[in-house]
Amino acid sequence: MHHYLLDSTITTNLSKCFKLPLTYKTIDVFFKCGLNLSDAAKELYIHRNTLIYRLDKIQRYISYDIRDFNNAILVKILFFIWTEKNNFYLKMFSE
């Protein structure tokens, strides 16, 4: 696990990752299912191995394995902040 929260490369990769609809949904559902692979796969209507493949791709891209609790906490916080920030801008520009 990295010991620096706001390294620009990591935050850039996280932001790019969160912008991808399939990746965003995968991360969102995985967190909502409490990091439970089987429950998340059912919720996403995909095979468990497909979810594992997606999580492996996410890990390679952002350098954090969100199946690991310590990594998941950090990514969840950044995911929440990114989502709130982007929802704010979407609401602001849609009015």
Cα 62 to Cα 39, 42, 45, distances in angstroms? 23, 24, 24
Number of helices (H), then strands (E), belonging to the chain: the values are 5, 0
In sequence order, what DSSP letters do the residues of 9-49 get, joined into one string?
HHHHHHHHHHHSHHHHHHHHHHHHTTT-HHHHHHHHTS-HH
Distance CA 79, CA 75 (A): 6
For residue 52, name the pLDDT band (cuts at 50, 70, 90).
very high
Distance CA 90, CA 84 (A): 10
Mean pLDDT, rounded, for 60-73: 93
pTM for this model (two decimals): 0.80
